[in-house]
Chain A
Amino acid sequence: MEAKNLTVARIKSLIERGEASAVEICQAYLQNLERLNPTIKAYLHTSPERALELAARIDRLKREGTPLPSLAALPMAIKDNILIKGLRSTCGSKILENFVALYNATVIEKLEAAGAVFLGKANLDEFAMGSSTENSAFFATRNPHALDYVPGGSSGGSAAAVASQMAVAALGSDTGGSIRQPASFCGVVGLKPTYSRVSRYGLVAFGSSLDQIGPIAATVKDTAQILRVIAGKDPHDATSLAVAVPDYLEGIEKPVKDLKIGLPREYFRAGLSEVVKNKIQAGLRLLETLGCQMVEIELPHTDYAIATYYVIAMAEASSNLARFDGVRYGLRVRGYSNLSGMYRETRDAGFGAEVKRRIVLGTFVLSSGYYDAYYLKAQKVRTLIKQDFEKAFEKVDVIISPTSPTPPFRIGEKSNDPLAMYLSDIFTITANLVGIPGISVPCGTTPEGLPVGMQILGKHFDEPRLLHLAHIFEQAGGFTL
């Protein structure tokens, strides 16, 4: 058995046919990790003992003749802002460097019950704020396809682990593209579910009206199977909705003919790199030959989306990050003279530059005298952006765009210009503002071998259609294992 290009289905059949044990599969991926992580730096810390324990449980089931659960022995990387009981959860921040989780996130409980095996915690931009994983307080992750390039972010460690065979699948979180953009940069599949589809209990909050946990995997089918396990109502998250969770694999092989695909006029103009444009256009031609119909649509408020997003995301971040005060958990510095000094010095030492920038700006837009002009204004424009999408979805079934306007960029290229970094999120942030699902699926590579991703957006809870179209596309294009 070679620990390469395995999938949920292949792992299950290896174990069922007795060709490999769960422990052997787990060990093989741990070996990949030991060999590659020093270079790629996808994982912040690992948990081999716990992983092998979980794998041994699967082997016991096999010996007892009990049917294997749906994700049996699936080696996974978990973004380090999702809690696993007894393991550190640093969020890529100095302020939580030694924080140990007291409970499992709901998604972890569900994955564990489905037989998944967690190899370790994946690197991220500090508190998921960034698009390159360079903002991690510990180290930058490298793109497995080209080591001088970023893997995207903020779930860069999760995507890089999957792309380099250090995990078969991963969990990320997506507040403005943090699952889809790194999936695109690393040549794998990443899905941001509908807001409220997956419980956020145990996800360290960044932007509470925007955050969603979702799967990253090498194939659409694996993505679909993980979503089925983690989706659903959770009493611990009042924002999760009791909408039935379908079998996302049902009908996934059927042809996609007569599907209407919306192409936003505003997305295919200046600012989009030629090489990305060419790849996406080739992808669209492929979809046409499969029977899809292209319809030009308008999303007239596109130009306002980034400004709207950053006002709302920073406001929510400044509120959520107020809890890190050096009292109940996390870092506390020495040398303060009073309580407010302790708060201020602790937060100064514990947070990195991007996090501070967002806290300062978020606090500013919420402060007396500026609230109406910035925060309330952004919430109103959010309504207009939502209406753009409602109108578009009256005419089309899905909307397609590039995931990112450029291919992966070099490490260090954008790290001194926050605004330039924000502008590269243009195609992904609207799904978070509107709460709709979006998937990034591989769409070929540039002449330099850098991956390009195609994004498919759908209506609320229309994940079955996104996964179906993405699966047919990945198979027809040969963009899969």
Chain B
Amino acid sequence: MKIGHAEVEYVAKLANLAITEEEKRRFIDQLNSILEYVEQLNSLNTDNVEPTAQVVYASEQDLGMRQDEPRVTFSQEESLSNGPATGAGYFKVPKVIEER
């Protein structure tokens, strides 16, 4: 078993996910079977292999950096229009600073 109760809780915390006890139980089984499957990668020797992060670019290719110029994209009103809680031109969030 690669992942147990503690690992799922730790990773869920890193990912800002609250998961229920029932989900946790189900995930532990499913995640372990997926990870067990992934283990087969370890049978390959990759000592002298470079990792690939992006596929189609040769280093000499110019990806065309644009000029760093300010421009108007969205108005404040538009930017706030999908916010679940807004007011006075801001997004509202729960209080972050603790009272002493």
Q: Closest CB of chain A to B63's CB: distance in Å?
A: 6
Q: Is the CB of B12 within 8 A of A360?
A: yes
CB neighbours (8 Å) of A378 from chain B are 38, 41
CB neighbours (8 Å) of B68 from chain A are none
Selected from B18, B57, B78, the residue in CB contact (under 8 A) with A348 is B18
Instruction: Give CA–CA (A363, B85) in the complex, Å.
Output: 28
Instruction: Give CA–CA (A327, B96) in the complex, Å.
Output: 13
Task: With A338-B94, A348-B19, A363-B14 as known contacts, state yes or no: A195 contacts B34, CB within 8 Å.
Answer: no
Q: Is the CB of A328 within 8 A of B83?
A: yes
Give B37-58 interface residues, CB cut-off 8 Å to A: 37-38, 40-42, 44, 46, 49-57
CB neighbours (8 Å) of B95 from chain A are 338-339
A147 at the interface (CB under 8 A from B): no
Give A185-203 interface residues, CB cut-off 8 Å to B: 194-196
Q: Is the CB of B17 within 8 A of A356?
A: yes
Q: Is the CB of B54 within 8 A of A377?
A: no
Task: With A344-B16, A380-B49, A418-B34 as known contacts, state yes or no: A303 contacts B40, CB within 8 Å.
Answer: yes
Q: How many residues of B contact A (CB 8 A)?
A: 53
Q: Is the CB of A377 within 8 A of B41?
A: yes
A-side interface size class = 35 or more
Q: Is the CB of A361 within 8 A of B34?
A: yes
CB neighbours (8 Å) of A194 from chain B are 56
Q: Is the CB of A329 within 8 A of B15?
A: no
Selected from B18, B26, B31, B54, the residue in CB contact (under 8 A) with A209 is B54
Task: With A233-B64, A235-B66, A460-B56 as known contacts, state yes or no: A330 contacts B84, CB within 8 Å.
Answer: yes
A99 at the interface (CB under 8 A from B): yes
Q: Closest CB of chain B to A27's CB: distance in Å?
A: 31
Give B56-99 interface residues, CB cut-off 8 Å to A: 56-57, 61, 63-64, 66, 74, 78-79, 81-85, 91, 93-96
Selected from B51, B61, B66, B82, the residue in CB contact (under 8 A) with A380 is B51
A311 at the interface (CB under 8 A from B): yes
Q: Closest CB of chain A to B15's CB: distance in Å?
A: 4
A157 at the interface (CB under 8 A from B): no
Task: With A357-B27, A360-B27 as known contacts, state yes or no: A435 contacts B38, CB within 8 Å.
Answer: no
Q: Closest CB of chain A to B61's CB: distance in Å?
A: 7
CB neighbours (8 Å) of A344 from chain B are 16-18
Q: Closest CB of chain B to A206's CB: distance in Å?
A: 16
Q: Is the CB of A331 within 8 A of B84?
A: yes
Selected from B18, B50, B53, B63, the residue in CB contact (under 8 A) with A347 is B18
Task: With A303-B40, A357-B30, A380-B51 as known contacts, state yes or no: A241 contacts B61, CB within 8 Å.
Answer: yes
A113 at the interface (CB under 8 A from B): no
Selected from A99, A348, A422, the residue in CB contact (under 8 A) with B82 is A99
Selected from B3, B42, B93, the residue in CB contact (under 8 A) with A377 is B42
CB neighbours (8 Å) of A195 from chain B are 55-56
Q: Is the CB of A367 within 8 A of B52?
A: no
Instruction: Give CA–CA (A149, B17) in the complex, Å.
Output: 33
Closest B residue to A373 by CB, please name it.
B42
Selected from A322, A373, A386, the residue in CB contact (under 8 A) with B55 is A386
* 0/1 string, A385-412, CB within 8 A of B gives 1: 0100000000000000000000000000
Instruction: Give CA–CA (A359, B37) in the complex, Å.
Output: 18
Q: Closest CB of chain B to A416's CB: distance in Å?
A: 9
Instruction: Give CA–CA (A257, B30) in the complex, Å.
Output: 48
Selected from B23, B30, B46, the residue in CB contact (under 8 A) with A381 is B46
Give A47-88 interface residues, CB cut-off 8 Å to B: none
Q: Is the CB of A343 within 8 A of B53?
A: no
Q: Is the CB of A381 within 8 A of B78?
A: no
Task: With A364-B11, A364-B31, A383-B52 as known contacts, state yes or no: A374 contacts B38, CB within 8 Å.
Answer: yes
Instruction: Give CA–CA (A374, B2) in the complex, Å.
Output: 12
Task: With A360-B12, A367-B11, A381-B41 as known contacts, state yes or no: A102 contacts B78, CB within 8 Å.
Answer: yes
A121 at the interface (CB under 8 A from B): no
CB neighbours (8 Å) of B51 from chain A are 376, 379-380, 382-383
CB neighbours (8 Å) of A301 from chain B are 44
CB neighbours (8 Å) of B74 from chain A are 102-103
* 0/1 string, A294-314, CB within 8 A of B gives 1: 000000010110111011000
Instruction: Give CA–CA (A453, B98) in the complex, Å.
Output: 59
CB neighbours (8 Å) of B3 from chain A are 364
- Contact residues of A with B, CB < 8 Å? 98-100, 102-103, 194-196, 209, 233, 235, 238-239, 241-242, 301, 303-304, 306-308, 310-311, 318, 322, 325-332, 336-345, 347-348, 351, 353, 356-357, 359-361, 363-364, 367, 373-374, 376-384, 386, 418-419, 422, 433-435, 460
When A and B form their complex, which 8 residue pairs have the shortest distance between CB atoms, in order from nearest?
A: A435-B55, A379-B51, A329-B82, A332-B84, A344-B18, A380-B46, A348-B18, A363-B15
4 other A-B residue contacts (CB within 8 Å) besides A235-B64, A304-B44, A378-B38:
A102-B78, A241-B57, A329-B84, A357-B31
Q: What would 27 A/B residue contacts be, using CB atoms closer than 8 Å?
A: A102-B81, A194-B56, A195-B56, A304-B44, A307-B37, A308-B41, A322-B15, A325-B16, A329-B83, A329-B84, A338-B94, A338-B96, A344-B16, A347-B17, A356-B27, A357-B30, A360-B17, A360-B27, A363-B14, A367-B14, A374-B41, A377-B41, A377-B46, A378-B38, A383-B50, A386-B55, A418-B34
